[in-house]
Structure 1
Amino acid sequence: MCTPRCSSSRRATRRRSPTRSSYATGWTSSPRSARSSGWRPGTTGRDDGHMKIAAGQFTSVPGDIEANVGSMQGLVRAAAGQGAALVAFCELAATGYDLDLIAGRPELWLAEDDPRLDPLREACRTTSTAALVGCAALTSGPRPSISALVIGPDGELLARYDKTHLYGEENDVFTAGTRDGRFTLDGVRFAVAVCYDNRFPDVAERAKADGCHVYVASSVLDEHNDSFGEGSIRSG
């Protein structure tokens, strides 16, 4: 089942599921300029001084980018109808979290302007909603990165973040990023992280020092794996 969800929090929070899922975490240091309001069906929420951020949860079809993009564009439209300004999808949502599959099929590695993302770009453009898309992305080297591509409300690429802290066997398939993730939406500065990045408090500490109001993390977890360990994120 595909379900857009929004949550309200001023501190780093987590949503956990017994199956693989996605969630976004966030803290805000300025509740007037960046506050996730509650998910209230039938309200838009864009004109009351709040910003709604939706976590787009669905089960990816392994290796089927077209089907997964179709699910994501549908969730963007549904979340936009409830007033979301940003929809965050899970780590490797475009392909599913299947490391062997990704390693063996380079055609699954997306370019920043990949035409297979066009239906999602169109959904963002026609609804004036941004989307954070988890994917395997092309790099200048022989391996892809685990990336979050942020498509802006105009349908153009707003930012790209490559996961800097790879976990376990990810090191055999991907290239680690070297830069922190940042973007600005509706005047609000965001920090971006992916899954295992959240084990490292300095990621969130740099975001706060850099003036970010929202920390959005794209993850894939199962019931035995929690990348948000005790003390992994601190906010104040």
Structure 2
Amino acid sequence: MKVELAQLAGQDSDTVNNLRRALAAIAACASDTQLIVFPETYLMGFPAVDTVARVAEPLDGPAVQAIEQAARERNIAVVIGFAENDNGTFYNTTLLITPQGIALRYRKTHLWPSERGVFQAGDRFATCEWNGVRIGLLICYDIEFPETARALAQLGAELIIVTNGNMDPYGPTHRTAIMARAQENQALALMVNRVGAGTGELVFAGGSTLVDPFGTLLHEAGREECQFRVELDFSQLAAARADYRYLNDQRIRLPGEVIEHADGRRELLIG
């Protein structure tokens, strides 16, 4: 699978600017790219308590619809974050959008302190199958909790995609975490972070990465804007799982109700 990582700067509470840049990045993809991944809440940036009601959009809002249209026109899948408005409740949400529409929605379950009071935490983990690969989504702070990636592994995830909005001085924390999450779940993992200045004194740390199922860092971006392509080798899954399988050998499984949907999505409810 050929994937492009769009490590871009963004503007908080400025959907017009961010959507324009996202559409340009999709248009710039190589003709054989199958998937492009953007940072956390990329479409709106990070809203504040006094701006979230203005900038957040529903699932069928104009920003998401514009990305869906671009995905159809380019025959490409897109993973992108946005501020979701669900009838007046706001979520930090990431979508997997394919040329056929929205395949997966994930609402961030572990909110960073500055997000509390802005967003509501999600209540489930989810995976779907796309192009023969079972994909799960996580968002930023989620990956600092081993249970999040393990929940996706219990749902069959082979590829974990993390939309990230990690800032200084915590860049090394997420570098370590994404490698650990891939290794301990024997899955491929992609993480795409934002760069540049944010609101106040925030500076986003970049370092977008691809990690193999052994926990080896295969590609790592620097701190500048870039859009680069990687190729995922899913034969590494069989190699990593050949002699032992952590998921089979674990003594304690995460609790929660598993829901199997007719369209192939699997969800683990966490309450």
Q: Please say whether Structure 1 and Structure 2 have the same fold, judged by a TM-score greater than 0.5.
A: yes
* Contact 1:204 1:215 survives alignment (8 Å): yes
What is the aligned partner in structure 2 of residue 72 from structure 1?
22
The answer to whether the aligner puts 1:113 opposite 2:47 as a matched pair is no
Counterparts of residues 91-170 of structure 1 (less than 5 Å): 91-97=40-46, 99-100=47-48, 103-140=50-87, 142-154=88-100, 156-170=101-115
On the 8 A contact 2:89/2:119 being kept in 1, the answer is yes
Distance between the aligned counterparts of 1:225 and 1:103, measured in 2? 26
CA contact (8 A) 2:52 2:90 kept: no
1:53 equivalenced with 2:3 (yes/no) = yes
Question: Which whole-Å CA distance do the structure 2 matches of 1:106 and 1:69 have between them?
Answer: 18
Alpha carbons of structure 1 residues 229 and 60: separation in structure 2 relative to 1, 3 Å = closer
Deviation at 1:150, TM superposition (A): 1.9
> TM-score, structure 1 length as denominator?
0.70
Contact 1:70 1:120 survives alignment (8 Å): no
Q: CA shift at 1:93, angstroms?
A: 0.6
- The letter of the residue matching 1:68 is N
Instruction: Give 3-state SS (helix, strand or coil) of 1:117's partner.
Output: helix
Query: Is 1:223 equivalent to 2:168 in the alignment?
Result: yes
- Give CA deviations for 1:11-52 in whole Å, capped at 9, x if unaligned: xxxxxxxxxxxxxxxxxxxxxxxxxxxxxxxxxxxxxxxx02
8 A Cα contact 2:43 2:82, kept in partner:
yes
Q: Name the residue aligned to 2:154.
A: 209
Q: How much does 1:149 deviate?
A: 1.9
CA contact (8 A) 1:85 1:129 kept: yes
Rounded to whole Å, the distance in 2 between the matches of 1:65 and 1:230 is 31
Contact 2:127/2:156 (CA < 8 Å) preserved in 1? Answer: no
Structure 2 residue identity aligned to 1:138: N
The code of the aligned residue for 1:92 comes to: T
RMSD, matched Cα: 1.9
**C-alpha separation in 1, matches of 2:12 and 2:176:** 31
Structure with the bigger percentage of strand: 2
Partner of 1:185: 130
Structure 1, unmatched stretches of 5+, are: 1-50
Given that 1:124 and 1:130 are in contact with CA atoms closer than 8 Å, whether structure 2 keeps it comes out as yes
Give me the TM-score of the superposition, normalised by structure 2. 0.62
User: How far 1:235 sits from its partner (Å)?
Assistant: 3.0
Larger radius of gyration: 2
In the alignment, structure 2 segments of 5+ residues that lack a partner are 187-271
Deviation at 1:107, TM superposition (A): 2.4
State how far apart, in whole Å, the 2-side matches of 1:216 and 1:88 are: 8
CA contact (8 A) 1:112 1:149 kept: no
Change (3 A) 1:53 1:67: same
Percent identity of equivalent pairs:
23
* 1:97-132 CA-partner distances (Å, limit 9, x unpaired): 2x42x6434121111111233332221101111111
Deviation at 1:83, TM superposition (A): 2.4
**Would the alpha carbon gap of residues 104 and 67 (structure 1) be closer, same or farther in structure 2, given more than 3 Å must change?**
closer
Q: Cα–Cα, structure 1 residues 139 and 119, in superposed 2: closer, same or farther, change >3 Å?
A: closer
CA distance in 2, matches of 1:72, 1:188: 24
Q: What is residue 176 of structure 1 aligned with on the other side?
A: 121
Cα displacement (A) at 1:223: 2.9
Displacement of 1:230 in angstroms is 4.4
Structure 1 contact 70–119 (Cα < 8 Å) conserved:
no
Name the SS of the counterpart of 1:144 in structure 2. Answer: strand
Aligned length: 181
Residue 180 of structure 1 aligns to a residue whose secondary structure is strand
